[in-house]
Chain A
Amino acid sequence: MLGLPLDSWLLIAASTLLGPLLVLLFLRTQRRHEAARSAGESD
């Protein structure tokens, strides 16, 4: 595929995508935590 073996593409994809995806998951969790905290404070 595009001249590279599939396992090379898997390594390149993991190198470039795993880190940003982990951070996006972290940001979503933090937003939910902040929302829950704000809701708790307003109650």
Chain B
Amino acid sequence: MASSAVLLVLGVYLLILLGIGIWGGRGSGDMEGYFVAGKKLPAWVIAFSSNSTGESAWLLLGLTGMGYLVGVHAFWVVLGEVMGVALAWVFVARPFKEATDRYGSITVPDYLASRFRDYRGSFRHLLRVLSVVIILAMTGAYTAAQLTAAGKAFHSFLGFDYRTGVFLGAAIILFYTTVGGFRAVAYSDLLQGTLMFLCLLTLPIVGLVAAGGWTATVDALRAQDPALLEPMGGLGLGVAGWVSVFGFAGIGLAFLGSPQLLTRFIAARDGGEINRASLLAVICIVVFDVGAVTAGMTGRAIFPGLEDHETIYPMMGTELFPAVFTGLFLVVVLAAMMSTVDSLLILASSAVVRDFLQQVVRPGWSERILSRWGKATTVVLGVVALLLALEEVRMIFWFVLFAWSGLACAFAPVVLCSLFWKRTTRAGAIAGMAVGITVTVSWVLFFKASFHELYEMIPGFLAGLLATVVVSLFTESPEGAAEELDEIRASVGPAI
């Protein structure tokens, strides 16, 4: 059973989250307030919020495990993610923020609908509805899976019953997300991101000291397997090696256009805040990823021969630190899950209320009524995810295989083309989204095993990009869109 020190740390953390929820509730009475915090967030918040949303519990359990399993080869993931974050802040953030401010957009489908004039012509609202369907399918399953992981974390760290853990995690997240809206989500992300930052700064240092220093760590790894110190791991420079490199680095492509991350740019106070946040964000992701991989490597030097490499993080947390810190390590895992789940819930809620109810079905409803619907929708979506997690529905794990890459491959190629290629058309955007998600799902189901397990992000992203470009070349771009892009570029200035 859990010690009182661990329970105390956990209790304080959960109380702070409840406080943030109540505080965030002020100003969430209209759509812009509830879904993008009134577009008033400062640099610190958007920097940490984007990274803690982008990194789920996978960072702490999966990436440390990868460092444990393949050693230096895991730095290809670091390279991909750090470059993904840097490229997003340098090239995407400013023009995207400028465009969404001009259009008055508060969601990514909102932006796409305005950019491609989705509100007129044949099959109007098709782009918006397609976006909503993809967001709901992907976020619903991903949220349920994260709640499942929360239940398991409570069970393994504290000995709680699994269902109690799922219920407790979901109740806290639903409270502060529903009451506090995006402001509470973003500021709780700041807290959660700071905890993850401090943990991943400390863990590898303590690991190195416990392993006897740098030379002792490297010697121990070499003695176990010299390939742990090689950049290509044990795969060499053949096809399998390069497929692994591209798959690892490709994880970072999601940072270029996933809707849950782009929402942070929309919510920034102005372009100046985005500039100030960019360096913070990239330093934060470097510490996250380098810390996770290095911790895994030092963990292997100290605890060789673990049956499940993804248990190295809890192993280091419990064996190398006193009990009160063990509580903190549990809190950091929960923080990583919660910061992802709250963002997905509010993203899905905005898709239903803003993009479907307000823009398609009930354009006459007042902001106050829609804001209430937003809160009610957040609760309904959260309860559905909770029920799926309580029942441990196996189907959700099937969805989670491609939830992160599916969202990214549906949106990132289209968003990039919309910002940087004037000829992009509405038909091209629809084709890009449909092909991106379809290829991602098909790749996982039918092709991945035959292609050295190439990560689906690579074919999904390339197929989405290709479909957007080819269909755009054969269709008409929206009237006035080229001039708008020129004005946006002139306003934000050159990136480099």
Interface residues, chain A, with chain B CB atoms under 8 Å away: 2-5, 7-8, 10-12, 14-16, 18-20, 22-27, 29-30, 33-34, 37
Contact = CB atoms under 8 A, between A and B. Distances in A.
B85 to A, nearest CB: 6
B411 interface: no
Contacts of A2: 214-215, 218
B282 A20 contact: yes
B86 A19 contact: yes
Interface of B: 72, 75-76, 78-79, 82-83, 85-87, 89-90, 214-215, 218-219, 222, 229-231, 275, 278-279, 282-283, 285-286, 289-290, 493-496
Contacts of B231: 5, 7-8, 10-11
A26 B79 contact: no
With a 10 A CB-CB cut-off, give which of A2, A3, A19 has the most chain B CB atoms.
Answer: A19
24 contacts: A3-B219, A8-B72, A8-B75, A11-B72, A11-B75, A15-B78, A15-B286, A16-B82, A16-B290, A18-B86, A19-B82, A19-B83, A19-B85, A19-B285, A22-B83, A22-B86, A22-B282, A23-B89, A26-B90, A27-B275, A27-B278, A27-B279, A29-B495, A33-B494
Contact of A8 (B78, B215, B229, B496): B229
Given A8-B229, A23-B90, 8 more contacts: A7-B231, A10-B231, A14-B79, A15-B290, A16-B286, A23-B279, A24-B279, A27-B279
Interface of chain B, main secondary structure: helix
A34 B493 CA distance: 8
A22 B42 CA distance: 22
Contact of A23 (B72, B75, B78, B86): B86
Nearest to B83: A19
A19 B85 CA distance: 8
Contacts of B86: 18-20, 22-23
Contact of A22 (B78, B90, B283): B90
When A and B form their complex, which 4 residue pairs have the shortest distance between CB atoms, in order from nearest?
A33-B493, A3-B218, A19-B86, A19-B82
Contacts of A14: 79
Nearest to B494: A29
Contacts of B85: 19
A26 B496 CA distance: 5
Nearest to B491: A37
B166 to A, nearest CB: 36
A4 B496 contact: no
B215 A3 contact: yes
Contacts of B79: 11, 14-15, 18
A5 to B, nearest CB: 7
Contacts of B230: 5, 7-8
A20 B76 contact: no
A16 B78 contact: yes
A8 B90 CA distance: 27
A16 B288 CA distance: 11
A26 B89 contact: yes
B279 A20 contact: yes
